[in-house]
């Protein structure tokens, strides 16, 4: 059943485009789902893709456009006239249309909006553009089915038939008072099972979760996930129903956030993808490497301060990558758990308890690893005192690294900074420096060099 994109199929399309065989293309593609059309567009060069967009029904292409990678879409849109863009917008849900307009250059935004024939849609887009990014207002769509509490079930069904045409999926029917203020909700199921003559006010569910236009995306995601909602209504400060957010938008948001956190932990900023340009990838990666470089140079400086150990205990210098790796790994582990816990809201209990737990955990890990180091030392016939020195200082390094990894994200979070920046290179680098200093300092105390 599944559509499988092959290189043969792409060549066939490219061939048809090169001879401008519009009819052949329409026949070949008219049965395809918009998501499959999007996959094809991603494989074509921008001119060919633009040709297809202009050729196919805007009912399909408008949806396909939304599925494209931002940079592919940008290239195609730059090849369309304001009128052509407006035609695509006409077929979109208001939230998608507003997203597209927001991506356009400022100069042509106005022009595109003026070319939209449906005045209501144009007004909706302008309204949505006004809300702050990352808030429910910017995320919501204006399409929804709403009924007044004074209506009868039969009247409601009639009205719904009219409204439902513009709404892709009816999740809930929202009930408002005469001023448009949200009062409750009704499911299609309830409507099907209610007596025809009943008034909505008798059958609706007065309990309804909602968010306001200023609620942040993260909070919207938390509420929808916690209460297993597939759509949530959005109201203004006065309680007037303005729009709704559906689960697919939230899913995209959650996925994007998870990917961003993951990249941040790997030392990549700016939401890049494997097929982005070398320049984009360099911009996302180099700054973190430079941070690591400065950290490394810091270590060089620290070790120069302990140079006197070179003659008596050169072996210590062979252990620095191990110490740095341990400090880095433990720090990343601790921070990853905390960052995830903060995101899922399950970091509970007092800071003191967490401190005890982290130190306990680090002690167990550190002792186990320290024993392995001593065992290794015995096998290779290393001076016993040196082995013990390395084990003890490694244990201290692990404890400090765990504490840094745990508390830096917590402190950042308390100050309203995204704790995810504390995972990855940032923690690794600072733990490297701390760790190496601590290692040599403790060694110096024990070995008296």
> β-pairing, 145-148 with 173-176?
parallel
Q: Are 261 and 204 in contact (CB under 8 A)?
A: no
In the list 102, 321, 411, 445, the residue contacting a copy of itself (rule: CB under 8 A) is: 321
Which member of 285, 407, 421, 430 binds a copy of itself (CB under 8 A)?
A: 285
Residue 416 Cβ vs a copy of itself, minimum distance, rounded to whole Å:
19
Strand 182-186, strand 211-212: pairing: unpaired
Of 240 and 266, the one with the shorter C-beta distance to a copy of itself is: 266
Contact pick of 154, 205, 286, 351 for a copy of itself (by CB under 8 A) = 286
SS3 295: helix
Check residue 297 for interaction with a copy of itself (CB under 8 A). yes
Distance CA 163, CA 26 (A): 31
Quick one: 86 or 268, whose CB is closer to a copy of itself?
Answer: 268
Q: Looking at residues 20 to 79 of the shown chain, list those that interact with a copy of itself (rule: CB under 8 A).
A: 33, 35, 43, 67, 69
Task: Say whether residue 209 binds a copy of itself (CB under 8 A).
Answer: yes
Nearer Cβ to a copy of itself (112/182): 182
Binders of a copy of itself in range 239-268 (CB under 8 A): 247-248, 251, 254-255, 258-259, 261-263, 265-268
Cα within 13 Å of Cα(446), Cβ side: 18
Out of 19, 227, 350, 352, the only residue in the binding site for a copy of itself (CB under 8 A) is 227
What is the DSSP pairing of strand 182-186 with strand 173-176?
Answer: antiparallel
Residues of span 328-367 touching a copy of itself by CB under 8 A: 328-330, 332-333, 335-338, 340-341, 344, 346-349, 357, 360-361, 364-365
CB of 332 to a copy of itself, least distance (A): 5
CB of 342 to a copy of itself, least distance (A): 8
Query: Measured from the CB of residue 298, what is the shortest distance to a copy of itself in angstroms?
Result: 9
25 contact partners, CB below 8 Å, separation of at least 6: 13, 16, 17, 52, 55, 56
Tokens at residue 260, please? 């961003």
For a copy of itself, give the closer residue by CB, 137 or 370.
370
**Residue 304 main-chain phi, psi, to 5 deg:** -60, -30
CA distance 383 to 274: 49
- Single residue of 55, 281, 446, 447 touching a copy of itself by CB under 8 A: 281
DSSP for 82-111?
A: HHHHHHHHHTS-HHHHHHHHHHS-HHHHHH
Distance CA 444, CA 331 (A): 24
């Amino acid at each position: 059943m599944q559509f499988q994109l092959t290189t043969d199929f792409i060549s066939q399309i490219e061939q048809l485009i090169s001879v401008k065989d519009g009819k052949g293309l329409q026949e070949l593609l008219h049965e395809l789902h918009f998501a499959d059309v999007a996959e094809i567009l991603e494989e074509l060069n921008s001119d060919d893709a633009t040709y297809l967009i202009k050729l196919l029904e805007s009912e399909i292409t408008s949806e396909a456009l939304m599925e494209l990678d931002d940079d592919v879409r940008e290239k195609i849109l730059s090849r369309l006239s304001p009128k052509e863009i407006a035609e695509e917008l006409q077929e979109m849900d208001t939230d998608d249309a507003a997203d597209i307009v927001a991506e356009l250059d400022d100069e042509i935004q106005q022009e595109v909006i003026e070319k939209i024939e449906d005045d209501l849609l144009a007004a909706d887009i302008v309204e949505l553009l006004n809300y702050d990014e990352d808030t429910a207002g910017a995320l919501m769509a204006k399409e929804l089915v709403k009924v007044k509490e004074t209506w009868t079930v039969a009247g409601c069904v009639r009205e719904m038939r009219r409204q439902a045409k513009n709404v892709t999926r009816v999740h809930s029917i929202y009930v408002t008072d005469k001023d448009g203020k949200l009062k409750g909700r009704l499911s299609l199921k309830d409507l099907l099972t209610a007596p025809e003559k009943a008034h909505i006010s008798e059958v609706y569910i007065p309990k309804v979760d909602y968010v306001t236009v200023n609620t942040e995306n993260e909070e919207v995601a938390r509420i929808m996930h916690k209460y297993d909602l597939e759509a949530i209504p959005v109201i203004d400060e006065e309680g007037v129903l303005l729009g709704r957010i559906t689960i697919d938008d939230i899913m995209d948001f959650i996925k994007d956030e998870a990917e961003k956190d993951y990249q941040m932990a790997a030392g990549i900023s700016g939401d890049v993808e494997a097929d982005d340009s070398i320049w984009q990838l360099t911009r996302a990666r180099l700054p973190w490497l430079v941070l690591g470089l400065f950290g490394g140079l810091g270590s060089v400086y620290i070790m120069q301060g302990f140079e006197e150990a070179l003659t008596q205990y050169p072996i210590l210098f062979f252990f620095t990558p191990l110490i740095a790796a341990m400090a880095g790994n433990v720090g990343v582990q601790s921070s990853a758990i905390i960052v995830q816990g903060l995101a899922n809201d399950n970091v509970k209990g007092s800071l003191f308890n967490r401190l005890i737990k982290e130190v306990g955990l680090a002690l167990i890990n550190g002792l186990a690893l320290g024993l392995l180091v001593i065992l290794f030392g015995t096998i290779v016939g290393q001076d016993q005192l040196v082995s013990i020195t390395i084990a003890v200082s490694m244990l201290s390094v692990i404890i400090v690294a765990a504490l840094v990894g745990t508390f830096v994200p917590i402190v950042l979070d308390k100050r309203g900074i995204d704790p995810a920046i504390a995972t990855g290179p940032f923690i690794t680098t600072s733990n490297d420096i701390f760790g190496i200093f601590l290692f040599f300092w403790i060694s110096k105390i024990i070995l008296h060099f």
